[in-house]
Chain A
């Protein structure tokens, strides 16, 4: 998944990620554990997560 500039770092995505693949410090960052399942995208309150092109 790709995180865009809307991200505020609220960490909501990290709590719904089933793979523990999101680290948050000011902004969310996707780690190598990400499988592009797209669940995080649904839970982002600021539309900051996109499916990679």
Chain B
């Protein structure tokens, strides 16, 4: 059996590794000269920046991605972050960090609420595990439960950091699936070597089982035979396969299928694809001689104007920066209406960093933005249309087809796991 994988991003390489291990003859085709997509390292002035993701696995060494890597024998060391902190103004009611701040533990978020609301939260934490809310956005649901804007700010910072969405864009069902996954798998971790540590390990597994990766090779078309996906066109050459897994997201994959999806029976699928909205975000990479965050986990910043959270990966792996330097990266959500004003959004982010790190010396290394065809997520979390397509033998993986409740790359891993179960049984 032969499988063709289109795209050597994380989803593509996870699929290639699993299928080659299962005995498939695997060929991976990647348009760019490098593998890893938005989950690899970019060497910039001696710092290992990332092409997209933050050198973080949202559920660390026991999450869906780590489990998948373990099952296929990919050798990656993942270090669990010691803490997640939240920066808040010294006194409640102060709108920003200008007059000073303190950091509290993520799990202590309810200590900033009134006594009555704290009891309500304690009750909800227990009751919602059995009776999950549904049919609202997270923000609407929160407002029906507790009248305190701190909770909305906190939710926005978390959703902005983890999903690059605002709390009024996230279905409450998706958040409760995420919370359940936090109970199940634990908090974030950092892979040694950054994103590329994972990609290198996957390539090694693929090579071990005889799979081949062709970089600089663009797939122009997916073709069918007898109503089933049967191969791809590269240049003028036809490459046949029994199975095709696309890492390009549903929309770009459908474009490669051309007329094969034009019939009446596929109109529902195509209409659904039109509703998909990629999520947008900005990452600001900082270099510093002294630690800025000071711990191995995430610092959420709900009182910043734009920045949602920051992490300092050199706290775990100093090899991600030149000796003696720290690499610190901030993430900010970009609202759909602000994608056209990216420079102004970046300025607000840079102002935030000055307020978050007053008196600290740092250099802005690179500012990276993601939207539209190279977004944070091809399908905003909670809207992923699954891994199947109307064409038998053609599957979609990656950040356009995440599994439910899977934050970023954990969602990619859950989606690949589900796809492999369909293919391999």
| Interface residues in chain A, defined as those with a beta carbon under 8 Å from any beta carbon in chain B | 6, 8-12, 14-16, 24-27, 42-43, 45-46
Contacts and interface: CB of A to CB of B under 8 A. Distances in A.
Interface of B: 32-34, 37, 42-44, 49, 51-52, 216, 342-343, 345-346, 366-375
A9 B342 CA distance: 9
A26 B339 CA distance: 9
A22 to B, nearest CB: 10
Given A25-B367, A26-B346, A42-B33, A11 B42 contact: yes
Contacts, number: 60
A26 B43 contact: no
A25 B369 CA distance: 8
A15 B44 contact: yes
A10 B367 contact: no
Q: How would you classify the secondary structure of chain B's contact residues: helix, strand, loop or mixed?
A: mixed
Contact of A8 (B34, B346, B369): B369
A15 B42 contact: yes
Q: How would you classify the secondary structure of chain A's contact residues: helix, strand, loop or mixed?
A: loop
A6 B345 CA distance: 19
Nearest to A39: B33
Interface centre among A14, A25, A43 (most CB of B within 10 A): A25
Contact of B51 (A12, A24, A46): A12
A43 B374 contact: no
A24 B284 CA distance: 11
7 contacts: A8-B375, A15-B42, A16-B42, A24-B366, A26-B343, A27-B342, A45-B37
Contacts of B34: 43
B43 A46 contact: no
A26 B332 CA distance: 13
Contact of B374 (A14, A25, A27, A46): A46
Contacts of B371: 8
